Amino acid sequence: MTSLLYRLGRGAVRRRRLVALLCAVVAVGVIAVGQASGGTTSDAFDIPGVESQSALDVLERDFPSAAGTSAQLVFATDEGTLSDPAAAAAVDAALADVAAQPDVGTVGELQRSAGDTIAYADVQYDKPSEDIRDEAFQRLEATAAAANDSGAVQMELGGDLPSEAAQEEPAGQEVIGLAVAVIVLLVAFGSVIAMGLPIGVALVGLATSIGLITAIASVADVNSVAPILAAMIGLGVGIDYALFIVTRHRENLRLGMTVEEAAGRAIATSGSAVLFAGVTVIIAICGLAIAGITAVTVMGLMAGLTVAVMVTLALTLLPALLGFAGHRIDALRLPGMRAGAGIPGRESMWHRWGRQVSAHPWRYLGGGVLALGLLAAPVFSMRLGMTDNGTSPTSMTTRRAYDLLADGFGPGFNGPLVLSVELDGATVEDLAPLEDAIAADPGVQAVAPVQPNADGTAAVLRVVPATAPQDADTTDLVHRLRDDVIPSALADAPGAEVYVGGQTATFIDMTDKVSSRLLWFIGAVILLSVVLLMMVFRSVAVPLKAAMMNLLSIGAAYGVIVAVFQWGWLKGLIGVEETVPIVSFMPMMLFAILFGLSMDYEVFLLSRVREEYLHRRDNDAAVIEGISATARVITSAALIMISVFAAFVLGDDPMIKMFGLGLAVAVLIDATIVRIVLVPATMKLLGDWNWWLPGWLDRLLPNLDVEGGTGLPEPEYEPGRGPAVPPGPAAPDGEREPEPAFAD
């Protein structure tokens, strides 16, 4: 693999015009296909094997009118009642206008609150949301604008169709993350051209990935969060992967290699680590299929697709761009950069830090584990769930409709349970005990009368909980109805099969399904990481240590998320208005993504430590030198990742905020407490046992050469240059070129 990547890198430099042209054609073509396909996202959740899915199947089969989407028209007044002449006229005009709109099947009767200050009407459409969503929502918005302009009433839009169609305008989080990345790369490289290469590759990869996702969305259901999550991860890994390769390329140039040779060796070494890290991210994310939830699996696949695009461009387009840059890669330098920083053999802050940790390993190990343990403590109170319109920003009409309905009809009104009943020999009259038993439950606010279908083979029962959809008591109610209330009430009506469904029940089922498989998923990912790291580092202790540290760092990230979003600590600082449960699939997806990202830093650091150990046979010296040689790049990469992920916290969607904060905190912890405290401390304590591997296991495991570059031919140097020439070639003006910052 190393030789293949070496030839790929050199070939991309030699044929750089062709490679750049092909990448441009593919990117433009993919973007054009995506735009032409008209693909749109869908927030429908299909969860095979759960009761809420069975309830939905009964509705679609036996109640055809329910196959179309729906909406709610919500009215409110601050003065008087909705029966006052001006308010009543505005409401009637709005209802009549909606009833005359295309694809509207029925507009239900106006349902009024006790004080007649809030009311709503249900709208049933003839077609599913994905067929009419945008056009229908625009017509509803026009109706609401006219009603609000009357000054007599406030009209807001709720229900399924508005919830799917109403989207906040992007807040430009990508731009903020890119701006910080530009600053970090400028300081790291000290050159505008060197900085522009990772940014350019990441932007091309991002545009290509979004085009692919849009095209896929035209033939498959893709969740609305998927493109945002893909952009977040894609920007982070795309810039980081390019950063590692460009750094190695510049080091090779300073040793006097030709541009083609420097790029080829950079792709063979750092590119090999990039390929390894990228593949592990993709494999881990594909493992989300363990959850058995199509929407979550597709969301993970879109993120994995973006990572694959970024890896491909880093190994093809980037070396071509390095060829175009040539020896001018360090042109347009920033003034004031210190010369000579980071030259091998020169004392740096990281050497001193490594010796400090090695001198007191138990102290630093204990302090690091204690810090991560304290951060992870909130995990034990984590409550999984899903966000809904009640967690959206108040600038959205769906959130305002949610609040009005909760004020007028109770907190549980926004999350009704829909009980689908199959009547196989039973009659509607046999369901009377079921109505009474459900109404008597203390967690139920109201029960609507049973509604049979035309031929009497099925029925629907609507139940309004007494608590909000995200409340833990609502979850308890769903389980109580399924396990106790319904079986007891239908003991004398064996011909009736009842399924508890509705959006609230669907989210509860998804949470239960993910929770039941989360530990299996984490175990599979850890096992994969241990095996892969054994193959790379030929060690037992290093992989096991890495697995434990990954658990600690990711657990700490989980703990911070729980403290902010569930407990409400400092929630105002990131714009969270209400405490919310942790999105059910977030821990699983976060673990998959962070596993691959931490693997990247792990390989980059430990491969250098192992290289030094094999050369010196001195474990302590190898650890110190490995940290000092890689700290600059890891620090730069981590700052970029953190800035990109943290920028998404500035958006309005609580789910995206959750992912952004979790990823940013995890990378921060991984690049600081783990990499520069726990790793050197544990490696000092283990000594030569770090590199022990039983002979039988050594023969059994294949050998992966990551960052080693073994098997390559002798380097090609520029005329008059060679390995004996000191790093840092003379610039045209006679001054030695400055080294990148962050060395100290």
**Which of 276, 378, 295 is CA-nearest to residue 662?**
378
**Is the pLDDT confidence value at 101 over 90?**
yes
Residues 556-606: tens digit of each pLDDT? 999 999 999 999 998 888 888 788 889 888 898 888 888 777 777 777 788
Distance CA(507)–CA(78), nearest Å, equals 34
Cβ atoms 202, 310 nearer than 8 A = yes
Residues 143-153: tens digit of each pLDDT? 999 999 999 99
Least confident of 160-164, 312-316, 464-468: 160-164
**What is the number of other CB atoms lying within 10 angstroms of the CB of residue 328?**
12
Q: Hey, what are 228's tokens?
A: 């945002």
Q: Nearest 5°: CA angle at 235, between 229 and 238?
A: 125
> Going by DSSP bridges, is the β-strand pair 70-76/154-158 parallel, antiparallel, or unpaired?
antiparallel
Residues in the chain: 744
| CA distance to 271, 318, 615, 716, per residue, from 2 (Å) | 9, 17, 20, 17
Backbone angles phi, psi at 118, to 5 degrees: -135, 140
Provide the phi-psi class of 318: left if phi over 0, else alpha when psi is between -120 and 50, else beta: alpha
Q: Hey, what are 681's tokens?
A: 């401390």
Distance CA(406)–CA(603), nearest Å, equals 52
Distance CA(695)–CA(377), nearest Å, equals 40
Question: What's the mean pLDDT in 504-521?
Answer: 89
**Is the pLDDT confidence value at 77 over 50?**
yes
pLDDT at 596: 72
Query: Where is pLDDT greater, at 518 or 738?
Result: 518
Q: How confident is the model at residue 735 (pLDDT cuts 50, 70, 90)?
A: very low
Residues paired with 498 in a beta bridge: 421
Distance CA(705)–CA(12), nearest Å, equals 22
Question: What is the percent of the chain where pLDDT is above 90?
Answer: 41
**Which of 602, 449, 463, 638 is CA-nearest to residue 529?**
602
Residues paired with 122 in a beta bridge: 72
> Going by DSSP bridges, is the β-strand pair 582-583/70-76 parallel, antiparallel, or unpaired?
unpaired
Distance CA(419)–CA(428), nearest Å, equals 13
Amino acid of residue 306 = T
Give CA torsion, residues 548, 553, 557, 563, to 10 deg.
80
Question: What's the mean pLDDT in 405-433?
Answer: 90
Least confident of 12-16, 292-296, 690-694: 292-296
Q: CB neighbours of 19 closer than 8 A, spacing ≥ 6? A: 12, 316, 317, 319, 320
Distance CA(314)–CA(242), nearest Å, equals 6
Least confident of 121-125, 168-172, 232-236, 501-505: 168-172
**Which of 24, 51, 27 is CA-nearest to residue 497?**
51
Cβ atoms 728, 340 nearer than 8 A = yes
pLDDT at 346: 61
Cβ atoms 177, 233 nearer than 8 A = no
Q: Hey, what are 635's tokens?
A: 């620090």
Distance CA(468)–CA(474), nearest Å, equals 7
**Is the pLDDT confidence value at 335 over 80?**
no
Provide the phi-psi class of 339: left if phi over 0, else alpha when psi is between -120 and 50, else beta: beta
Amino acid of residue 642 = I
